[in-house]
């Protein structure tokens, strides 16, 4: 019998920096200061530096980063936001929570928005493009940035999966008005609970975001706008600081695992992920495609190997977004991807032995 190989192992990522993480957590527990204190400020400073942004504002989650970004930009009811069809549903919720309408565009072969299909979707109501750097690969930013300039659109980036990925040497999250990050435990930079942040070069946006995350107040008990409770807490910030300091290593390890898959997988039934010229990939997921997905999942399962589908139901076909009125067949490429993608086991601390077993099984399939 084999030990099971799971699609993700968060314990491995913890063990690697266990001592440092535990020391940081203890420091906060003993400090008596738990919300919006020195650890959050220090993390915000470090993450702004990491992305090369003027400002970072820590928040409670990636979804909050998205919805508050559109809130700060004044995008809401009656406005349209362009976003790719094949994304995690949170990207779309960040738009619709504000009352704005998502306009869905098909993806390219790299699973990011097809920049050539955006212009035809722009109307007088279009206010912004939300770019999702899905699976960790930076999108085709030159074209998108030009479209935003041409039509005076705001540009928001969903970087929940792309910490440190770059296009043309520029880090994702810094191309537009606001970059939105999640530090959910399974993300490349993961906390030990929910956490998120935005980055921006615009001082006004950063200031507004700090207000919105704290009930719409700058001065305690004097509320200027109807805000949220979306504060990053000290404990998460302290532990994130540890991981952020090791981010180069964390990303390098994921790249090494991805490179080994790409080098050693040889099976005509599998379509391996490709990387666009001029961009980098930080491999939040290693996503293959196959027309025999059901059989492959069962085959791997019998051999103790777990996989995940990111994502089986595209937002436009989800029950939640039935009201948008999309039908099956409206987004053919998005739907084809939803029916054929499969994420292979990929995590920091994955051993070479574990990966070789996955590769052998996939080649035998
Ligand atoms: C995880 C994720 C989010 C949401 O982040 P949370 O911190 O879970 O709210 C948004 N968009 C994408 C693409 C994600 O992967």
CA–CA separation, 66 and 61 (whole Å): 9
Please give, one letter per residue, the 3-state secondary structure of 209-254.
HHHHCECCEEECCEECCCCCECCCEHHHHHHHHHHHHCHHHHHHHH
Residue 230 CA to ligand 1 centre (angstroms): 15
Residue 265 lies in a domain: yes
User: Token pair of 107, please?
Assistant: 């993806």
Q: Regarding beta strands 217-219 and 166-167, do their DSSP bridges make them parallel or antiparallel, or are they unpaired?
A: unpaired
CA–CA separation, 38 and 233 (whole Å): 10
Phi then psi for 127, rounded to 5 degrees?
-115, -25
Question: Is the domain of 41 the same as that of 111?
Answer: yes
Please give, one letter per residue, the 3-state secondary structure of 280-323.
CECCCCEEEECCCHHHHHHHHHHCCECCECCCCCCHHHCHHHHH
Pair 87, 182: CB distance under 8 Å: no
What confidence score (pLDDT) does residue 3 get? Answer: 82
CA–CA separation, 230 and 195 (whole Å): 9
Instruction: Give the residues surrounding ligand 1 with Cβ less than 6 Å away.
Output: 61-63, 87-88, 90-91, 132, 158, 160-161, 182, 184, 194, 196
Query: Cis peptide before 219, with omega less than 30 degrees from 0?
Result: no
Query: Which of 202, 218, 245 represents a domain boundary (last residue)?
Result: 245
- The whole domain housing 353 covers 247-364
Residue 2 lies in a domain: no
Residue 107 DSSP symbol = B
Query: Which of 245, 265, 292 represents a domain boundary (last residue)?
Result: 245
Could you tell which of 60, 61, 87, 88 is best to mutate to test the pocket of ligand 1, judged by most ligand atoms within 8 Å of the CB?
88
Q: 10 Å Cβ neighbour count for 32?
A: 8
Residue 88 CA to ligand 1 centre (angstroms): 7
Question: Is the domain of 224 the same as that of 264?
Answer: no
Contact partners, residue 155, CB within 8 Å, separation at least 6: 128, 129, 131, 144, 145, 148, 175, 176, 177
Residue 208 CA to ligand 1 centre (angstroms): 22
Residue 70 CA to ligand 1 centre (angstroms): 15
Residue 4 lies in a domain: no
Residue 54 CA to ligand 1 centre (angstroms): 23
CA–CA separation, 83 and 130 (whole Å): 5
Residue 222 CA to ligand 1 centre (angstroms): 31
For the purposes of burial, counting CB atoms within 10 Å of the CB of 169, is it exposed (0-12), middle (13-18) or buried (19 or more)?
Answer: exposed
Question: Is the domain of 41 the same as that of 86?
Answer: yes
What confidence score (pLDDT) does residue 11 get? Answer: 96
Along the 365 residues of the chain, how does pLDDT read in single tens digits?
568 999 999 999 999 999 999 999 999 999 999 999 999 999 999 999 999 999 999 999 999 999 999 999 999 999 999 999 999 999 999 999 999 999 999 999 999 999 999 999 999 999 999 999 999 999 999 999 999 999 999 999 999 999 999 999 999 999 999 999 999 999 999 999 999 999 999 999 999 999 999 999 999 999 999 999 999 999 999 999 999 999 999 999 999 999 999 999 999 999 999 999 999 999 999 999 999 999 999 999 999 999 999 999 999 999 999 999 999 999 999 999 999 999 999 999 999 999 999 999 999 99
Residue of minimum CA distance from atom 12 in ligand 1: 160
- Among 323, 332, 312, smallest CA distance to 106 is for 332
Phi then psi for 99, rounded to 5 degrees?
85, 0
CA–CA separation, 208 and 75 (whole Å): 14
Residue 152 lies in a domain: yes
Angle at 307 between CA 167 and CA 14, to 5 degrees: 70
Q: In ligand 1, which atom is closest to the CA atom of 87?
A: 13
Question: Is the domain of 238 the same as that of 338?
Answer: no
| Total domains in the fold of the chain | 2
Rg (the chain; Cα; Å): 20
Helix (H), strand (E) at residue 18: helix 18-31
What confidence score (pLDDT) does residue 144 get? Answer: 98
CA–CA separation, 3 and 302 (whole Å): 12
What confidence score (pLDDT) does residue 314 get? Answer: 98
Question: Is the domain of 229 the same as that of 337?
Answer: no
Q: In ligand 1, which atom is closest to the CA atom of 183?
A: 7
CA–CA separation, 167 and 175 (whole Å): 9
Could you tell which of 60, 160, 162, 190 is best to mutate to test the pocket of ligand 1, judged by most ligand atoms within 8 Å of the CB?
160
Contact partners, residue 192, CB within 8 Å, separation at least 6: 14, 21, 185, 235, 236, 239
Q: Which residues in 184-197 are b (16+ Cβ under 10 Å) and which e?
A: beebbbbbbebbbb
CA–CA separation, 28 and 26 (whole Å): 5
- The CATH number linked to 219 is 3.40.640.10
Residue 62 CA to ligand 1 centre (angstroms): 5
Question: Is the domain of 43 the same as that of 151?
Answer: yes
User: Token pair of 110, please?
Assistant: 């790299």
Query: Which of 210, 245, 280 represents a domain boundary (last residue)?
Result: 245
What confidence score (pLDDT) does residue 2 get? Answer: 61
Coil, strand or helix at 110: coil
For the purposes of burial, counting CB atoms within 10 Å of the CB of 49, is it exposed (0-12), middle (13-18) or buried (19 or more)?
Answer: exposed
Residue of minimum CA distance from atom 6 in ligand 1: 62
Residue 1 lies in a domain: no
For the purposes of burial, counting CB atoms within 10 Å of the CB of 41, is it exposed (0-12), middle (13-18) or buried (19 or more)?
Answer: middle
Residue 270 CA to ligand 1 centre (angstroms): 27
Residue of minimum CA distance from atom 5 in ligand 1: 62
Entry pTM: 0.98
Residue 3 lies in a domain: no
């Amino acid at each position: 019998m084999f030990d099971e190989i799971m699609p993700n192992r968060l314990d491995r990522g913890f063990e690697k920096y266990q001592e440092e993480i535990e020391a940081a957590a203890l420091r906060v527990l003993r400090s008596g200061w738990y919300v919006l204190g020195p650890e959050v400020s220090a993390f915000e400073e470090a993450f702004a530096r990491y992305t090369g942004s003027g400002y970072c504002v820590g928040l409670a989650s990636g979804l909050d980063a998205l919805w508050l970004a559109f809130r700060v930009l004044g995008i809401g009811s009656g406005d349209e936001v362009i976003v790719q069809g094949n994304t995690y549903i949170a990207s779309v919720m960040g738009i619709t929570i504000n009352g704005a309408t998502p306009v869905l565009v098909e993806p390219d072969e790299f699973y990011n928005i097809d920049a050539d299909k955006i212009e035809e979707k722009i109307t007088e109501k279009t206010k912004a493009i939300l770019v999702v750097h899905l699976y960790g690969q930076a999108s085709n930013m030159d074209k998108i940035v030009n479209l935003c300039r041409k039509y005076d659109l705001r540009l928001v980036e969903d970087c929940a999966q792309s910490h440190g990925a770059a296009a043309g040497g520029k880090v994702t999250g810094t191309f537009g008005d606001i970059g939105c990050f999640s530090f959910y435990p399974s993300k490349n930079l993961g906390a030990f609970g929910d956490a998120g942040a935005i980055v921006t070069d615009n001082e006004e946006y950063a200031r507004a975001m700090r207000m919105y995350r704290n009930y719409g107040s700058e001065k305690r008990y004097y509320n200027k706008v109807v805000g949220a409770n979306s504060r990053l807490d000290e404990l998460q910030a302290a532990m994130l600081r540890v991981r952020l300091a090791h981010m180069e290593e964390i990303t390098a390890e994921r790249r090494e695992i991805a490179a080994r898959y790409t080098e050693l997988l040889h099976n005509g039934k599998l379509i391996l992920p490709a990387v666009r010229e001029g961009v980098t990939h930080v491999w939040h997921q290693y996503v293959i495609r196959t027309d025999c997905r059901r059989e492959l999942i069962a085959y791997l399962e019998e051999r103790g190997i777990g996989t995940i589908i990111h994502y089986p139901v595209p937002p436009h076909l989800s029950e939640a977004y039935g009201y948008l009125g999309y039908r099956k067949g409206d987004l053919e490429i998005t739907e084809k991807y939803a029916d054929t993608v499969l994420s292979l086991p990929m995590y920091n601390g994955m051993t070479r032995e574990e990966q070789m077993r996955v590769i052998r099984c996939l080649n035998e399939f």
